[in-house]
Structure 1
C-alpha cells in the first residue's frame, strides 16, 4: 500500500514538473521575437502600417498598468491619423489583434490582467475610438506579430518592405514585432506618439537599444 502511495506521489510530482516546464516554455515564447526567412527590402518598394493590439481590453485597462484616458486618447487619435494617411497614399493598413492561446497564457492573463485578452471577451474588439478603415485583420497569440504566417504572406503579396508601427504595449508587443521585422530585413519605423507604454520610463530606456539595432523611432511633432 505504501509503495502504491509513494508511486502516486512520485507520478504526481513528475506531472507537476512537466506542466511547470511546459508553462514556462509557453510563457517564454510570448516575450521573445520570432525568427523567419529574410527578405530583400529593396525588392519590396511598398510600406504598410501595423496597428498592434489597440483593443479595448488593453487600451482601456484600469488599475495598475493602465495608460490613462488622456494618453490613450492621444495615441489612438494619432493612430487614426496614420491610418488616414496610409489610405490616402494607397498603403495597406494591417490591424493586429491579440487573443491569448493555451492554458498557461490564459491563466497568467486571468491572474495579472483580470482576464484581458482571453477568448470570448467583448474587449477583444478594437478600441471604439480607433477607425482604421478598410484593413487587413490578423489575430496573434504571442507578442511578435510575425508569429502569424499570414502576416508575412500578406506583406509578400503586397510587396511591402517597410513598416510603420503603432499600438501597444511599446515595451512588449510593439518592440517584439519591430525586432521580428528587422531580423527579417524589413525597414522598421515606430511612431513614438502613436504607441502606449504602461511603464513610460522603461520605454525611454528601451528606445536607444532599438535605434542601435537599426529600428527608426519617429519622435512626436514639436508643438
Structure 2
C-alpha cells in the first residue's frame, strides 16, 4: 500500500500519447491499441483516467503534433493535466487531481519511455505512490543518433529495472495490458 494516508484508489495515467511524440515510435499502433484497451477497462471498472499532455518549444500547444492521437479520446469528465517538464508532477496540478480522487496507486502508460514515463514513475514513487508500469503500453522514439540505444532496448530496459524498484511502504511493478487489475 502506498505511503499516502487515506488514498485507497487507483488511477490510470496516460502520458503524452500525442501525434508528434509517437508518430515514429516502434509498435506505435500496438501500444496505442493497448492504451485504448486500458482506458476502456478503467472506465468499465469505474477507475479514473487522468490524461497528461506535454508542450514545449518543439511541441507547441495547439499544433497538430501536440494533439493526442485520434485513436484515444478523452471523456470530458476525465482530468487533463498540462505539463512542460518530464515529470508529470512538476509544475502541474497532478498531485491535487490525484488527492481529490483519493488515489494512492498509479497504473502508467504512454510515451516516452526514456523521458516522461521514466521521470513520472520515479516522481510518483518518491512522492509515496505505488506505481505499476504497463510494459506493453509505453514507447519511445529512436534517439540512437544521440548515443541512446535503439528504442526497443530502451523500452525493455525500462521494464526490466522498474520491476525491481523497492522502497519502504510502496510497491512498483510491471505488468502486461492483459494482466492489469485496477483493484487491490
Instruction: Please classify the TM superposition score into its range, dividing by the shorter chain length.
Output: 0.7 to 0.9
Is 1:40 matched up with 2:30? no
Q: How many residues of Structure 1 are paired with residues of Structure 2 in the alignment? A: 163
Q: Which residue of 1 aligns with 2:97?
A: 154
Q: Which residue of 2 aligns with 1:54?
A: 17
Which is helix-richer, 1 or 2?
1
Contact preservation (8 Å) 2:110, 2:117: yes
Name which one, 1 or 2, has greater alpha-carbon Rg: 1
Output the aligned Cα RMSD.
Answer: 1.9
Which runs of 5 or more structure 1 residues have no equivalent in the other structure?
1-38, 61-65, 101-105, 107-114
- TM-aligned CA deviation for residue 78 of structure 1: 1.0
What whole-Å deviation, never above 9, does each CA across 1:30-88 have from its counterpart, x for those lacking one?
xxxxxxxxx7335211000111001111111xxxxx214xx111111111111111111
Give TM-score scaled by structure 2 length. Answer: 0.81
- TM-aligned CA deviation for residue 212 of structure 1: 2.4
Contact preservation (8 Å) 2:11, 2:50: yes
Distance change in 2, residues 1:191/1:206 (3 Å): closer
Is 1:183 matched up with 2:126? yes
Q: Which residue of 2 aligns with 1:26?
A: none
Distance change in 2, residues 1:206/1:77 (3 Å): closer
Which runs of 5 or more structure 2 residues have no equivalent in the other structure?
142-150, 167-171, 180-184
What is the alpha-carbon distance in structure 1 between the residues aligned to residue 22 and residue 117 of structure 2?
Answer: 13
Give 1:71-220 correspondences, 5 Å limit: 71-100=27-56, 106=57, 115=58, 117-133=59-75, 134-198=77-141, 199-214=151-166, 215-219=172-176
